[in-house]
Amino acid sequence: MGEEPKIFIWRGERKGGVAKTTLALAEGFQKYHGLSPTLGVFEKEEMGFDQIKVRRILPEKLSGYNAVWATFYLNKKGVLQEFDITYSQGGFFLKTKRNFYVCYEIGDLYRQLVAMPFFSSLAAFPVVKVHIYMMKRADLVVGISKECDAFFRKCGIRNYEICPTSFVDTSRFKPKRDSGPSEKFRVLFVGRVSDPRKNFLSLAGVCSKLKDKVDLYAVGPTEGKLGKFENLHLLGEITEEDLVRWYNACDLFVLPSFWEGPLPLVILEALACKKPVLASLGAIGEELKPFVVTFDPFSSRDLESKILWVMENYKEVKRLAERGYRFVRRNYEKEVVMKKMTDLILRGYEEWKG
């Protein structure tokens, strides 16, 4: 391949799906190609890679706006000129005259805006416009699934490939026990509970109505006041080891988001632990629908009825989870996914370089 390329990956936040997949991508370059990327971050931490830190200018919850600012700043300061390949999840200001810019997108951004509550959609609109603008300037756009095809064509994007980066480390996320439901049904949520896009308050409200039958456990950062829910247990930010324990301890994993990409990491993790999944129609793509129960994220009544249905039909839902477990292990194991993705990027770079 000639001289080894220097790679920059925009990671941004320390937590969340983007942080997990970008770090795994860096590890993939290192493991399979002997390359050690530099990561762009808001806070440095021990990861085994060089890092360039950029200060946030807005509250942490405005992660998209902070990433727009940070990548624009790095570009204007000339920091990116030393890198041959730049990469981000979502289109940001990482393209320069001399580098090969790879942008990864998880779904139809216009569909995301429609699926979100009005004020959340209004706040996200400028960032979505930046994503699309920078995708058009990217040398390679990578989509998570074939569901991205129509969106890319609508945006006039032709130089794209389909290659999922959603993955699960099956050596860590695996079933620990196999039993029937607990005496009091344990529902698990994993994500940023204060993010309105996650629709957590709807889940908390429904579980509160079912407090004699259900306990709700929430893993993830909490900001601001949530209200009082007797059967809500906030676990905060926990280690990955503890997260695996909670997947295994729950009876049902619920993802109530108004919108996610078609392959949310948390659903892959839950299925890898052989746990039944209840997901909103906006939070899951066609590939995973055969293995989960779905509901309308705008209907609390539908969410409540589906939780009760799962409780009454637990054996049937467990069979769905068993099939999902086999599907995830076969198709989304971390090492397989990251090898494909790093190969794709380096092949594209060599073709671009000529």
Give all domains of the chain, ordered by start, each with its CATH number. 7-167+333-353 (3.40.50.2000), 185-331 (3.40.50.2000)
**What is the C-alpha to C-alpha distance for residues 244 and 246, in angstroms, rounded to an integer?**
5
**What pLDDT is stored for residue 61 in this prediction?**
81
**What is the C-alpha to C-alpha distance for residues 231 and 135, in angstroms, rounded to an integer?**
44
Q: Are 282 and 267 in contact (CB under 8 A)?
A: no
Q: Helix axis angle, 334-353 relative to 17-33, nearest 10°? A: 70
**What pLDDT is stored for residue 165 in this prediction?**
82
Return the sign of the alpha-carbon dihedral for residues 214, 308, 244, 201.
negative
| Residues of the chain with confidence (pLDDT) below 70 | 1-2, 178-180, 224
Query: What is the pTM assigned to this prediction?
Result: 0.85
Q: Are 324 and 287 in contact (CB under 8 A)?
A: no
CA 149 to chain centre: 19
Strands 160-162 and 232-236: unpaired
**What is the C-alpha to C-alpha distance for residues 84 and 97, in angstroms, rounded to an integer?**
10
Phi-psi group of 109: left, alpha or beta (phi > 0 → left; psi -120 to 50 → alpha; rest → beta): alpha
Q: Are 277 and 317 in contact (CB under 8 A)?
A: no
**What is the C-alpha to C-alpha distance for residues 134 and 62, in angstroms, rounded to an integer?**
19
- Residues 6 or more apart in contact with residue 240 via CB below 8 angstroms: 172
**What pLDDT is stored for residue 221 in this prediction?**
85
Place of tokens 């509970």: 193
3-state secondary structure of 1: coil
What is the DSSP-derived secondary structure letter of residue 333? B
Token pair of 110 as six digits: 């216009």
